[in-house]
Structure 1
Amino acid sequence: MKHSQTFAMEKACTNLTEVVRSVRLFKIDGFSMTMGIGRDYSFNSRWSFDGYDWEVRIYPRTNEEFNRSWVSLRLIFLSEARTCAVRTTLRCCLVDPTGRLKPSEEDCRSIIFRKPQDSSSQVPLITRCEHLELSGYVKDDSFTVQCTLEVFKELPDVATVSLKEVHLPPSNLHLQFAQLLQSETGADVTFLVSGESFAAHKLILAARSPVCMAEFFGDMKEKCSQTVEIKDMDATVFKALLQFIYTDTVPEFGQQVEADVEAIYTDTMPEFGQQEAAVTVMAQHLLAAADRYGLDRLKLICAGELAGGINVNTAATTLALADLHNCPELKARCVEFIIKTSATLDAVLATEGYKHLEASCPLVVIDLFKAARGRKN
């Protein structure tokens, strides 16, 4: 048995070049009155085409050779070339407006323009002036010249044109992920935090957090678990942590976020940004959570928020937090604030936060007093 195979061949044609064309008629009245006119005298007309401007100059009595007069034409380029050169073809002939005579034989010249005021050489028409008078193209002491201008264009790549012409809307990826978190569509893991439950997506968490990657796709017990209990974390802090993982924003810190994101969480997220103290507490707890899950960007955001709100009551607590979670810039800012003046140092030493710092970070306390002595010296 013979097996036959059919092959389909696709034929496609892609234009790489294009030629655009424009035709103009130029009429010269009073031909007999041009007798004796200077050879450099011309009748001029502006010609706009394909985004460029040209000027056509018709010389009715050009002396070319042996004292014979010719009708000639010159084309002047008046624009800036969009590319390195504008390649054109100019065709000229005499025509009979009444249509009784066929157009004369065309004179065709290829011309390349590169800069403004570039011009073609003079193009002699078919016959000398004395022959023109007898040719039949002079009607009522006038004659008409037909000019055809062709411009050669190389077409840009189609993909490039599409990319330039399509207006891209602003990215709304964070809005879509926020909606995904809110709707719980496709969620495959539930977190239990301080008596509240939060549905999420393992793949998204793993993509954002190396800790989650190890938990859900490594050898840890959470790999096959659909429920994970989070201890030692407040529910509102975990909710803010999830929001950052999905949207890369922290509205609690007054970040500029889309109103749509805020609307999604209006009913589910408490207002932490109204009071400075509440923001500081959130930043402290969120910094610890960011460090716990390897979210370095969120960790820096929290450190920046805390650095901008250091005062006597928060300096020692923030210093302990910075040391515990390896935030050297925040740690330096706290030390600089505490030892700024003797009065500030004394005030910080009297706070509950300093007692916690002294108990949990004794080496930091030693460095603090070394820095204070160095400042006095």
Structure 2
Amino acid sequence: MDGACTNVTDAARLVRLLKVQGFSATECMKRIGGPDRYIPSRCTVDGYEWEVRIHPASKRGTDSTNLWVSLLLSLCSRPRESSVEASLACRLVHPSRILETFQEGSAAGTFSYAGECWHRVFLRRRDDLEGYLKDDTLTIQCAIAVLRPLPVPRIPAEEVPVPSSNLHQHLGDILQSKMGSDVTFLICNESFRAHKSILAARSPVFNAQFFGEMKEKSSRHVVIMDMEPEAFRAMIHFIYTDTVPELEKQEEVLTAMAQHLLAAADRYGVDRLKLICEAKLSRGITVDTAGTTLALAQQHNCSQLKTKCVKFIVSTPEVLDAVLATEGYKHLEASCPLVLTELLKSAHGRNAEA
């Protein structure tokens, strides 16, 4: 069966030939009441400094009669991470066949701090080195390998397309089908069925009516006074779907609907809908609508809409005169006489600037 090959590790490797000249004289380096002495050789592998320690006359275990040639690997640098993995492989090199292995040993370990050594590699007894010495020189080939783990290969995940939220569509379907409705509103001989929990979640006024101490708490029929059925229907639709299709109609129809809908939204505390209506009205102020829109803004605490209406009305003497002649201004005089003072002050200020 064919299969793919994947490298999961990498390694930095260094091979060196170490020569111990005057080998016969190293027998005096045997241990006498303490650790045996060694010959150091330093090198750098993978950015770390290492020391290979050659012990030419060391004891091995319980063998007290023979001396061995052994080597140790020591880390001289601090690990970049918590530890570093490394190994030491050694072999004696015959003078006549330099690349052929006649005696080999290896040791590997984890180095956690500078100065740490790992298992000793024993090559051969000193008495068995005949043939490996030339001119009283012993040659040892050492290979140091430092393990470098590769990042775990990751298969890039195919992104699963997630459709946009359609919660408003499902809630709109529930409103349309009237499935599970538990309250009916009566407005001007028209009825609207809805769900108390959804209305209460979106309106603090409905929440107080249905889950507070008001009389509608247990009632399944609620009569709404002083509201246009179309505005109430649009508000209920917004509560379920967070959309207002009625505000996408022609400008003349839009202004009237936005005015009625703003009043309904303010009445039931549907603040987002109120702001949407306020924004729509502020972009469509005309001579014919300025008076009624200003009265609406005053009555329902729409400060930004009110400011825009006042600025429009006093923008020029011609606009002011035209607004004063409309039915909307007469409605403003009758319903909000206090706002007229603000109009006069703004007009006077504009004249003073001119």
**TM-score normalised over the length of structure 2:** 0.63
Q: Which residue of 2 aligns with 1:208?
A: 202
Equivalent residue for 2:16? 60
Where in structure 2 are the equivalents of 1:93-132 lying within 5 Å? Answer: 93=89, 104-110=105-111, 126=121
Q: Give, in whole Å, the separation in 2 of the partners of 1:207 and 1:189.
A: 15
Shift of residue 92 of structure 1? Answer: 4.4
CA deviation after TM superposition for structure 1 residue 330, in Å: 0.9
SS of aligned partner of 2:85: strand
Q: Distance in 2 between matches of 1:88 and 1:291?
A: 69
1:211-269: per-residue Cα shift (whole Å, max 9, x none)?
1122112232211111112222222211210122123332434xxxxxxxxxxxxxxxx
Counterpart selection for 1:237 from 231, 236, 249: 231
SS of the residue corresponding to residue 89 of structure 1 reads strand
- C-alpha spacing 1:247/1:101, structure 2 compared with 1 (3 Å): farther
Which amino acid in structure 1 is aligned with residue 147 of structure 2? L
Alpha-carbon distance, 1:299 to partner? 1.3
Shift of 1:319: 0.2
Q: Which residue of 2 aligns with 1:246?
A: 240
Deviation of 1:365 after TM superposition, in Å, equals: 1.8
- Whether the aligned pair in 1 keeps the contact of 2:12 and 2:148 (CA below 8 Å) is no
Give the CA deviation at 1:361.
1.4
Q: Give the corresponding residue for 1:159.
A: none
For the 8 Å contact 2:85–2:108, the answer to whether it is kept is no
Report the CA distance shift for 1:62/1:346 in structure 2 as closer, same or farther (over 3 A).
farther
Q: CA deviation at 1:64?
A: 9.4
Out of 177, 182, 185, which is 1:188 matched to? 182
Aligned equivalent of 1:269:
none
- Is contact 2:282–2:305 with CA below 8 Å preserved after alignment? yes
Rounded to whole Å, the distance in 1 between the matches of 2:117 and 2:41 is: 10
Structure 1 equivalent of residue 46 of structure 2: 75
Letter paired with 1:372: A
Report the residue type matching 1:274 in the other structure.
K
Work out the CA distance in 1 between the residues paired with 2:15 and 2:103: 23
Residue-by-residue CA offset, 1:282-338 (whole Å, 9 max, x unaligned): 110110001111122221221111111111111111000001111111111100100
Instruction: Please state if 1:366 is matched with 2:337.
Output: no
Structure 1 residues 198 and 62, CA, compared in 2 at 3 Å: closer, same or farther? farther
CA distance 1:216–1:206, shift in 2 (3 Å): same
1:306 is matched with 281
Q: Counterparts of 1:167 and 1:86 in 2: how far apart (Å)?
A: 41
Work out the CA distance in 1 between the residues paired with 2:118 and 2:17. Answer: 13
Pair 215,49 (structure 1): closer, same or farther in 2 beyond 3 Å: same
Of 203, 211, 218, 1:217 maps to 211
Instruction: State the Cα distance separating 1:107 from its structure 2 match.
Output: 3.1
Deviation at 1:170, TM superposition (A): 4.8
Unpaired segments ≥5 residues, structure 1: 1-46, 78-83, 113-119, 135-142, 154-164, 254-272
Q: Counterpart in 2 of 1:285?
A: 260
SS at match of 2:237: helix
Question: Contact between 2:187 and 2:227, CA under 8 Å: does it hold in 1?
Answer: yes
Inter-partner Cα distance in structure 2 for 1:76 and 1:85: 13
Larger radius of gyration: 2
RMSD over aligned Cα, in angstroms? 4.3
Counterpart residue type for residue 245 of structure 1: I
Name the count of aligned residue pairs.
272
State the Cα deviation string for residues 99-120 of structure 1 (Å, max 9, x = none): x9998331324268xxxxxxx9
Q: In the alignment, is residue 149 of structure 1 matched against residue 137 of structure 2?
A: no
Q: For 2:106, what is the secondary structure of its paired residue?
A: coil
Is 1:328 equivalent to 2:328 in the alignment? no
The structure-2 alpha-carbon separation of the partners of 1:62 and 1:248, relative to structure 1 and needing over 3 Å to count, comes to: farther
Alpha-carbon displacement from aligned partner over 1:116-169 (angstroms, at most 9, x marks no partner): xxxx999999478xx8x96xxxxxxxx99695837599xxxxxxxxxxx99976
Taking only the aligned residue pairs, the percentage that are identical comes to: 47
- Alignment partners' CA distance in 2, 1:211 and 1:289: 11
2:177 and 2:243 map into 1 onto residues whose CA distance is: 18
Judging changes above 3 Å, is the alpha-carbon distance between structure 1 residues 354 and 64 closer, same or farther for their aligned structure 2 residues? farther
1: CA distance, partners of 2:194 / 2:259: 24
Q: C-alpha deviations, 1:69-113, integer Å up to 9, x for none?
A: 979772359xxxxxx946442334469xxxx9998331324268x
Q: Kindly tell me: are residues 368 and 56 of structure 1, through their superposed partners in 2, closer, same or farther at Cα, counting changes over 3 Å?
A: same
Q: Which residue of 1 aligns with 2:292?
A: 317
Deviation, structure 1 residue 207? 2.0
- Read off the aligned partner of 1:360 and give its amino acid letter: S
- 1:74/1:122 contact within 8 Å kept: no
More strand by share: 2
Q: Secondary structure at the match of 1:104?
A: strand
**What code does the residue aligned with 1:373 have?**
H
Distance 1:64 1:204, change over 3 A: farther
CA distance in structure 2 between the aligned counterparts of 1:212 and 1:373, rounded to whole angstroms: 44
SS in 1 for 2:15: strand
- What is the rounded CA distance, in whole Å, between the counterparts of 2:87 and 2:163 in structure 1? 47
- Whole-angstrom CA distance in 2 between matches of 1:333 and 1:66: 103
Structure 1 residues 62 and 304, CA gap change in structure 2 (3 angstroms): farther
